[in-house]
Amino acid sequence: MINKIFQKYTLLVAIVLFSASCTKLDFKPTDSILPEVAFRNISDINLGVIGAYAPIDYSTLSYSSIVSDEATYPAENSVGNSDAFRWLYTGSSGSVTGLYYTNYQAIDRVNRVLEAMDNLTFTGSEVALSNQYRGELLGLRAYLHFELLRAYAASYNTGALGITYMVKSAVIYPARENFEVVIAKAKTDLVAAKGLIPTGFNDKTRITKIAISAIQARVALYEKNWVDAITYSTEVINAVPLATKAQFPGIWTDANDSEVLWKLKRVGADSRTGDFFFRQRGTYVLYAPSSKLIATFDQVNDIRYPAYIKFDNSRTGIRSKFLVNKYIGSASAPGLTDVKQFRTGEMYLIRAEARAESSGDAAGDINFLRAARINGYVNATFADKAALISAIYNDRFKELAFEGHRFFDLKRRNLNIERTPADVAGNGSPLILTPLQAQYDLPIPATEISVNKNIVQNPFY
């Protein structure tokens, strides 16, 4: 089982960290493995790579759902994260700062394995395999930093405070780097990774060459580098087609992985993504799809609607009749589904937005994606750039619901987060969060600021 490999790697990392703490002593410890022998061969490196993937979870999609207008807080939820939903979080709120620690933990693992690789010599068939592992690690390092940047940057503009890009396992008091610096470093890692990962490597639970193209496309979108966004999204679109209408529902039950580019594999003992929304073992809803989101769908013809949202009329009283169906799992394993990190559907929307911002030729991508998702769809026309952008954002709201984008999409264009009265009734949330309020940016953890004298908080906190 993959979890046992994760556990073995976690023990390995713990041993390495312990031995590192003994470096000032003038004798070697006898009850631990020294760093130089913790990674002894190509098999150990593979364990290290797998272990670097291990901390990644569904934090990004959870934050984006409850802080934006994507989900609502039903009356039956007596244990959920109401402060995050009501925009009352601070740097001391673990509900929105957990990703900071999770991703940096994974980054530290990446850097330790890379450092270990530099001290090993590979021969024969090991050379190609070591290149693949190095490529995965560099791609993973870029992805993890970019997700931190999406979550904790003060804004997505040149000169804005970003995050620290860690390329070594131990740096004392690192400072935040500007948005454009982090982007440049991520791009460098991604280019290097792409040249190392073989084309024939196609394990979707790990970072492949085509997954690197997808990450590059998303990075370019946030950088507003429309040429690169078109180039990299097109690489993906040409390599991995959209799911058919028959295949699409099965993506979300793990019956197939059509159009999935990279996913986090989840097995029995793992945390269950669906439990974040609908605690089926306790049979109560923590977060329900917002009425604003529901209203965007053609509920009869759009195949995404039943795949993403479930209506259960048997739930009465204060219980929500609407449920997030996307990660509902099965009767034998409720809430247990793989987390889809990147899909071809996102690539069509990235290319459409980049084309709308440059050539203006975005209608083809919008219509193609809609036709793949909506029965009987008739191609639309768009009057101008503003109409194109509005259509793209509306389609991103639907296509990428509960996948970790909505909050960041609104932030990319400096738009208010606006909820409907129906979605805040009885839960104490205000209707609007503006870019001039502190909570429009997620806070840097208070503990990080108290420990690291070179880290500063985001504006208005």
Domain regions of the chain by residue span: 35-70+81-198+438-461, 207-415
Concatenating the DSSP letter of every residue in 30-85 gives SSS--HHHHS-SHHHHHHHHHHHHTT--SHHHHHHHHHTTSEE--TT-SSS-HHHH
Mean of pLDDT values over 409-438: 96
pLDDT value at position 33?
A: 52
Mean of pLDDT values over 267-271: 86
Residue 6 pLDDT exceeds 60: no
pLDDT value at position 35?
A: 54
How many angstroms separate the first and last alpha carbons of the chain? 44
The candidate with the shortest Cα–Cα distance to 132, out of 67, 73, 194, 89, is: 194
Residue 301 pLDDT exceeds 90: yes
Q: Between the CA atoms of 23, 24, 25 and 29, what dihedral angle is there, to the nearest 10 degrees?
A: -20
pLDDT value at position 446?
A: 97
Residue 26 pLDDT exceeds 70: no
Q: How far apart are CA 6 and CA 50, in angstroms?
A: 7
- Going by the DSSP 8-state scheme, the letter that residue 438 receives in this structure is G
With a CB cutoff of 8 Å and minimum separation 6, the contacts of 389 are 353, 356, 357
pLDDT value at position 389?
A: 97
Four-way CATH pick for 35-70+81-198+438-461: 3.40.50.720, 3.50.50.60, 3.30.420.40, 1.25.40.890? 1.25.40.890
Q: Let me know how long the chain is.
A: 461
The answer to whether residues 380 and 363 touch, using CB atoms and an 8 Å cutoff, is yes
Mean of pLDDT values over 126-130: 97
pLDDT value at position 15?
A: 38
Residue 107 pLDDT exceeds 90: yes
- Going by the DSSP 8-state scheme, the letter that residue 93 receives in this structure is -
Mean of pLDDT values over 156-173: 94
Local confidence band at 34 (pLDDT 50, 70, 90 cut-offs): low
Q: How far apart are CA 108 and CA 353, in angstroms?
A: 34
Of 272-286, 365-379, 401-415, give the lowest mean pLDDT range.
272-286
State percent of the chain over pLDDT 90: 85
Q: Is 284 helix (H, G, I), strand (E, B) or coil?
A: strand
Say what the pTM is: 0.92
Local confidence band at 3 (pLDDT 50, 70, 90 cut-offs): very low
Mean of pLDDT values over 293-310: 98
Residue 454 pLDDT exceeds 70: yes
Is 207-415 in the same CATH topology as 35-70+81-198+438-461?
Answer: yes
In this structure, whether the domain defined by 207-415 belongs to CATH 1.10.3720.10 is answered with no
Show the CA angle centred on residue 238, arms to residues 234 and 243, nearest 5°: 110
Q: How far apart are CA 3 and CA 9, in angstroms?
A: 10
In this structure, which amino acid lies at residue 421?
P
Local confidence band at 81 (pLDDT 50, 70, 90 cut-offs): confident
- Going by the DSSP 8-state scheme, the letter that residue 315 receives in this structure is -
The candidate with the shortest Cα–Cα distance to 182, out of 229, 130, 210, 143, is: 143
Q: How far apart are CA 190 and CA 170, in angstroms?
A: 22
Q: How far apart are CA 113 and CA 138, in angstroms?
A: 11
Q: Per the structure block, which two tokens stand in for 400?
A: 């990428």
